[in-house]
Amino acid sequence: MPDARDAEDTRLLDANDYSRPLATYYRVVLERCRLTLAGGDASEVAHNVMERLLRELAAGKRYPVPFRVVVHQMTTWKIKEFQTRGRVVLLPDGWDVDSGEDPFEPFAQGHDLMLLFAGLPTRVREVMELRYLEGLEIGEIAARLGMTRNAVDQALHRGHATIRESVG
């Protein structure tokens, strides 16, 4: 089916008959805009898509991909353009954006540490993860990994030295 649609679009565009392909895709574009945007904004964006396509076609522009792909890509661009053009969005009452608490901070810190630990030897990495990600004491790490306290201290020291070298 897309091949037949693409062939018909190409035939019409080559004959400079832009109204039929644009009319064919208008409902699809409008529905896509309605699913993404609220109220009358969808109609405005769909109109902008069609206007832009008509302007390009009338100027003689031809596309290396099927016209349906151009229509959908143009729709995506226009929706994004509409969503980002300086609109002020008010937050609901009671939302405090300056509370100072970031619920993702613990994840971000853990993720950053995991990246630092990734290049360490396996045993050193395990010790560092237990110490800094799980917050275990040296004795607890030694018991969990079946190591002596001295071996845990040495692994921590090697880990710190390696990270210090890699960070500079």
27: in domain: yes
Q: For 67-129, list the strands marked E by DSSP.
A: none
Structure tokens belonging to residue 58: 């009338």
Residues 11 and 57 grouped into a single domain:
yes
* Amino acid making up residue 100: G
Distance CA 127, CA 165 (A): 18
Q: Is the pLDDT of residue 146 over 90?
A: yes
Residues 69 and 114 grouped into a single domain:
no
Residue that terminates a domain, selected from 83, 113, 133: 83
93: in domain: no
Residue-number span of the structural domain to which 136 is assigned? 105-167
88: in domain: no
To the question of pTM greater than 0.85 for the whole model, the response is no
94: in domain: no
Residues 6+ apart with CB under 8 A from 18: 12, 53, 54, 57, 58
Residues 122 and 79 grouped into a single domain:
no
CATH number, domain with residue 133: 1.10.10.10
Quick one: pLDDT band at residue 104, thresholds 50, 70, 90?
low
Burial-class residue 124 by CB neighbours within 10 Å (0-12, 13-18, 19+): buried
- The tokens 């890509």 sit on which residue? 73
Domain total of the chain:
2
* Neighbour tally for 15: CB within 10 Å: 9
Average pLDDT, the chain: 83
Residues 26 and 78 grouped into a single domain:
yes
CATH number, domain with residue 20: 1.10.1740.10
State residue 15's pLDDT score. 87
Residues 58 and 119 grouped into a single domain:
no
Tens of pLDDT along 106-136? 666 666 778 888 889 999 999 999 998 888 9
